[in-house]
Amino acid sequence: MNTEQLSETEIETLRKGATGAGLLVAVSDKSFFDTFKEAGAIAKHLVAAKRSSASPLIGRIAEGRGTGFGMTAPTAEIEAGTLEALRAAGELLRSKAPDELDAYRTFVLDLARSVSSAAGGGDEVEAAAIAKIESALPGA
């Protein structure tokens, strides 16, 4: 399938899952200053993906703005919304763009891991967040 045929609503779901994964890792460890570093890691990862991804779908996801969550969204809301979006993304990609499943899974996990490594500390809680993300992704 040509990924250009995906609706903007479908792309928003894919984007919310991806950026939400990074945000979930960032807020899982409550260090205020680390969250800023980790938010910067999300932005850098998206810019890099937009410029260099071999997947047109990942490029489309990365060129968008926002996370799908408000600035003051509680951690529980971010977690529930992210995991729901990742599950919906899996269903969407299985039905409309199965050849993009691996690229999406890799993109999301790389994003989450880059956020985790952006600041020291929080290893256990961030690893737990990544495990939740991984289990919600297609192919888990």
Vertex 136 angle, CA 89 and 93, to 5°:
25
Domain total of the chain: 1
pLDDT in tens, 12-62: 999 999 999 999 998 887 665 566 677 778 888 888 888 888 899 999 999
pLDDT the model gives residue 109: 96
| Domain of residue 54, residue span | 8-136
pLDDT the model gives residue 32: 53
Is 18 inside any structural domain?
Answer: yes
Quick check: 10 and 96 in contact, CB under 8 A?
yes
Is 35 inside any structural domain?
Answer: yes
pTM: 0.88
Mean pLDDT over each residue of the chain, to the nearest integer = 86
Q: How far apart are CA 88 and CA 86, in angstroms?
A: 5
Mean pLDDT of 58-73: 80
Is 21 inside any structural domain?
Answer: yes
pLDDT the model gives residue 72: 75
Is 2 inside any structural domain?
Answer: no
Residues 6+ apart with CB under 8 A from 119: 29, 31, 33, 34, 37, 38
Is 91 inside any structural domain?
Answer: yes
Is 3 inside any structural domain?
Answer: no
Is 121 inside any structural domain?
Answer: yes
pLDDT in tens, 79-126: 999 999 999 999 999 999 999 999 999 999 999 999 888 877 668 888
- Provide DSSP, 28-69: HS--HHHHHHHHHHHHHHHHHHHHH-S-HHHHHHHTS---SS
Is 86 inside any structural domain?
Answer: yes
Quick check: 71 and 23 in contact, CB under 8 A?
no
